[in-house]
Amino acid sequence: MTYDLKNIFEQFKAEGTYLTGEPYGSGHIHDTFRIKTAEADRDDYILQRLNNKIFKNIPELQNNIERVTVHLKEKLSRITGANIKRECLALIPSSDGKSWLLDNNGNYWRLYIFISNHRSYNIVDSTDKAYEGGKAIGRFQAMLADMPGGPLFETIPKFHDIENRLRILEEKIKEDPAGRVKELEYEIKEYLSRGEEMKTILRLGREGKIPLRITHNDTKFNNILLDEYDKALCVIDLDTVMPGYVHYDFGDAIRTVTNTAAEDEKDLSKVEMNIDLFEAYAKGYLSETGKTLNSTEIEYLAFAPKLITYTIGVRFLTDYIDGDNYFKIHHPLHNLQRTRAQLKLVMSMERQYEEMKKIIRRLV
Ligand code: ADP
Ligand code: GN1
Ligand code: MG
């Protein structure tokens, strides 16, 4: 699909003249383009065609992001030396003053300032980067803890609710819409056999032992931008910022930070969890949040990576069974490869679970 990016861009109140627009990044949800401007002293931009099959209420989604970014900017403005334009996403209004645009073909668009000179990684190769990632997410959670205005809108209901995800998986297995279930006996058995254990965090929530806080809910490492010196710069992809348990953010970050291979690695012998990267991330994270977490939240941090890696694996498996309607895929077996790689990573985390628990105990 091609779009008239110049025309769309010109309907936003951006500074600078459109020069080029090219696909950008490796997100699985929206269509993302980098817009370069002709003037050297003007910002570049990120233009996104929003996935409104997944995010069904774009005005509420955008209202969340407006609230979050206004609050973060206010916090940053009180920190000497903070660079607000690079440390926080900045939405550019469209010509009618809204933070999104609906074009004549029913597509929703939004525009952000491009965060200059950032670095983004799909795989983490050093404990320094892992530590910086932990600091970034910890600081993000801490800065949002006192955001006024009541709870954020739930942009995707029951997003990390594993009971909900397992219910959908079981429905799709019965329905078998793409005729793929017969090839998946091993994967289905391995995923379903872990279901009960994975309900632990929901149970602790229901028992009132862990609170809902404002969480990001999509803390994979490429949603954390680092600066040119590989220091934490900005947390992006704010579409799922909403009420959640801290375990969701800790778990998803560990899923991506500690994996020695890509999320969709085909050669499963390469997929392992690296415990040194776990320790470095946890250290950075706890340095920012340790004092605010309650003892149950801390006790279950080591469990979180298993839960979220499992949850994302369940979602890849469900999407594969469903015929690939949710995540962007680049080849027909992509969701299957992702399903298998996440399962391998869960197994690696299971083997190192006691070690993870020891590290958390040592760090607090
Ligand atoms: P998705 O939900 O599809 O993952 P994201 O909002 O994460 O979409 O954007 C996709 C990618 O675009 C990011 O991983 C990042 O590389 C890049 N990106 C997004 N926003 C910005 C920004 N403001 N500045 C620079 N790069 C960005
Ligand atoms: C999607 O948007 P992106 O690509 O950062 C997904 C996450 C998954 C991730 C797996 C809204 O994240 O939940 O963990 O893919 N986002 C949404 O890579 O579903
Ligand atoms: Mg993303």
* Residues ≥6 apart with Cβ < 8 Å to 200: 300, 303, 307
67: CATH: 3.30.200.20
301: CATH: 3.90.1200.10
For 272, the domain range is: 127-363
**How far, in Å, is the centroid of ligand 3 from the Cα of 23?**
14
The pLDDT mean for the chain works out to: 97
Kindly state whether residues 154 and 199 are assigned to the same domain. Answer: yes
Q: Which ligand is nearest to the CA of 218?
A: 2
Q: Which ligand is nearest to the CA of 249?
A: 2
Q: What is the pLDDT of residues 16-27, one digit of tens each?
A: 999 999 999 999
The mean pLDDT value for 91-111 works out to: 97
Kindly state whether residues 201 and 330 are assigned to the same domain. Answer: yes
Kindly state whether residues 222 and 258 are assigned to the same domain. Answer: yes
**How far, in Å, is the centroid of ligand 3 from the Cα of 33?**
13
Give, using CA atoms, the residue closest to atom 11 of ligand 1.
25
pLDDT at 296: 98
pLDDT at 1: 81
- What distance in Å separates the CA atoms of residue 56 and residue 209, rounded to the nearest whole number? 32
Q: Rounded to the nearest 5°, which phi and psi values hold at 156? A: -130, 105
Looking at the whole model, is its pTM more than 0.95?
A: yes
Kindly state whether residues 247 and 137 are assigned to the same domain. Answer: yes
Is the confidence at residue 290, as pLDDT, over 90? no
Residues touching ligand 1 (Cβ under 6 Å) are 24-25, 27-30, 32, 46, 89, 112, 114-115, 118, 120, 222-223, 236-237
The answer to whether 198 touches 162, Cβ cutoff 8 Å, is yes
Chosen domain end from 113, 144, 179: 113
Kindly state whether residues 228 and 299 are assigned to the same domain. Answer: yes
- What distance in Å separates the CA atoms of residue 67 and residue 147, rounded to the nearest whole number? 8
* Residues ≥6 apart with Cβ < 8 Å to 351: none
Chosen domain end from 113, 147, 181: 113
Pocket probe for ligand 2: among 24, 26, 29, 223, the residue whose CB has the most ligand atoms within 8 Å is: 29
Kindly state whether residues 81 and 131 are assigned to the same domain. Answer: no
- What distance in Å separates the CA atoms of residue 247 and residue 293, rounded to the nearest whole number? 11
**How far, in Å, is the centroid of ligand 1 from the Cα of 79?**
25
Q: What is the pLDDT of residues 253-285, one digit of tens each?
A: 999 999 999 999 999 999 999 999 999 999 999
Q: What is the pLDDT of residues 48-63, one digit of tens each?
A: 999 999 999 999 999 9
% pLDDT > 90, the chain: 99
